[in-house]
A and B are shown apart, each in its own frame.
Chain A
Amino acid sequence: MNLSIKHLLGLEGVSRKDILLVLDTARSFRQILERPVKKVPTLRGVTIANLFFEPSTRTRISFELAEKRLSADVVNFSADASSLKKGETLIDTARNIEAMKVDMVVMRHAYPGAAQFLSRYVSSVMVNAGDGAHEHPTQALLDFYTIREHFDRFRDLRVVIVGDIKHSRVARSDIWGLKTLGASVAVCGPSTLLPRYIDTFGVDHFTDVEKALKGANVVNVLRLQLERQTSGYIPSLREYREYFGIKKHHLSLLDKNHIIMHPGPINRGIEITPEVADCEDSVILQQVTNGVAVRMAVLYLLSQNLRTATEE
């Protein structure tokens, strides 16, 4: 079974079949993570460059672990130590790295569409690790894996995403993918932090948390970026916590069968209280573990395109 996509740039337009193939494959990789030797020789000889033009800890470590557990060779590149500061353009940076015979590129960039743009100019297989407020497909895939692990289905599930939807690439990837998979999706946040054309996403939207959470199976709490307050989107962190923070009493509004997710890093006591983040329905750390397996699956499946790329 092969993926029908050559790069993973986003989940908008990716077929249900492709998403399910990644999730099925991730299951085999998940089980490798429980072994004494957490490594398989599959990508021996493949070189992967992690280009992180924006700070990231979790995603970068997760990708790096996934790559190393597949026995790939890894080079890391982060913005602060880069030649970007010396005025090099994105295409030049990527072309130079490619000239060193890199096979796959994992990229995080502050500009929406950066990965897609580069995929037109370099022949390496591209994986988008977050591009501005556009998409973060591997985060969404690990969310789906975690949801499937608990419910074993997507149809008839109600997923509510709470927080800063406007600036969230996780929310966008989640929405596209979950709709393809057949879940019912709702978003909730202050009206200043909902995208202006939210109707075009085809999801329910709320500004009242209690209404949004009623009967939900999955609550995905987004991180509130603290600089949103200074840029005037919310009056104060205290007010945000009061109206949009997920607290213990909210749990009783949910469906009996529910899980709490968060893409991390958590601002404890702002978007989510510690009691909720650490409660037994919280799967936040399972998401992190699953993230490695899902990224292994993505790299494994996309590596099939390397052969054809060399032949061209």
Chain B
Amino acid sequence: MGSKQIMNETDMKNSLKRITSEILECNQNNLSALALIGVKTRGEYLAKRISHLLKKWEKLDLPVGSVDITLYRDDFREVVELPVAQATEIMFPVRGKHIILIDDVLFTGRTVRAAIDVIIDFGRPKTIQLAVLVDIGNREFPICPNYVGKSIQVEKSSFVEVKLKEIDGEDKVILFTPEGK
């Protein structure tokens, strides 16, 4: 397995800033009904960072939630080690909100499908928009992100690891590719 760093701390900071300003630009008329929801675990921290930027720039204090998709996985019966179900925390009414769904990596689109299902079980949002730090293509579902930090096309057998200060002590994104490719 070969590995290559594709984002460092500065890249990540800039990407999040750009995503945040794009969210603001596209939601000029929805600011009062905007809410952020991160997909556990790393998406949750990215959601917190974006909410922090919005607070700093626009003095917007948005509701922030998180979803755990374990119980909504479509490969639940195929995995060997049972994933530990964590809590979904959406402590605000979802109905009528413009939800920004945030995850670290967008790959097959299956996680996003599950996350959308979780959110809909809490009520009917006005819109759900998707923000991801890295998009590595290879979609298996018809899902398209609204806000992307970095987009690269990789082999299906490759994968990306996002490291965040809050959990891993550093900010970086590494791409792993199988040998010989």
* Chain A contacts to B: CB under 8 angstroms: 1-2, 24-25, 27-29, 31-32, 35-37, 39-42, 300-301, 303-304, 306-307
Contact = CB atoms under 8 A, between A and B. Distances in A.
Contacts of A300: 71, 85
B81 A36 contact: no
A306 B81 CA distance: 13
Nearest to B68: A28
B121 A31 contact: no
Given A1-B81, A41-B71, A36 B86 contact: no
A7 B81 CA distance: 17
Nearest to B121: A37
B78 A307 contact: yes
Given A42-B76, A304-B82, 15 more contacts: A1-B82, A1-B84, A2-B82, A28-B68, A28-B71, A28-B88, A36-B121, A36-B123, A40-B71, A41-B117, A42-B71, A300-B71, A306-B77, A307-B77, A307-B78
A306 B70 CA distance: 18
Nearest to A71: B71
B121 A35 contact: yes
Contacts of B82: 1-2, 301, 304
Nearest to A304: B82
Interface in B96-149: 117, 121-123
Interface size on B, as a range, is 10 to 19
A213 to B, nearest CB: 36
A25 B122 contact: no
A135 to B, nearest CB: 24
B72 A42 contact: yes
A300 B117 CA distance: 19
B122 A36 contact: yes
Contacts of B71: 28, 32, 40-42, 300
B72 A40 contact: yes
B87 A28 contact: yes
Q: Which secondary structure characterizes the binding site on chain A?
A: helix
Given A40-B72, A42-B76, A307-B78, A24 B84 contact: yes
Nearest to A41: B72
B123 to A, nearest CB: 6
B87 A31 contact: yes
Given A2-B81, A2-B82, A301-B82, A39 B87 contact: no
B85 A28 contact: yes
A244 B72 CA distance: 48
B88 A31 contact: yes
B93 to A, nearest CB: 9
Nearest to A25: B85
8 contacts: A2-B82, A28-B70, A28-B71, A28-B86, A29-B85, A35-B121, A40-B121, A307-B78
A300 B68 CA distance: 15
B132 to A, nearest CB: 24
Nearest to A3: B82
Contacts of A25: 84-85
Of A2, A37, A41, A300, which is in contact with the most chain B CB atoms at under 10 Å from its CB? Answer: A41
A289 to B, nearest CB: 17
B28 to A, nearest CB: 29
Nearest to A37: B121
Nearest to B118: A40
Contacts of A42: 71-72, 76
A27 B117 CA distance: 20
A133 to B, nearest CB: 33
B35 to A, nearest CB: 16
Contacts of B121: 35-37, 39-40
A139 to B, nearest CB: 22
A29 B88 CA distance: 10
Contacts of A2: 81-82
A37 B122 contact: yes
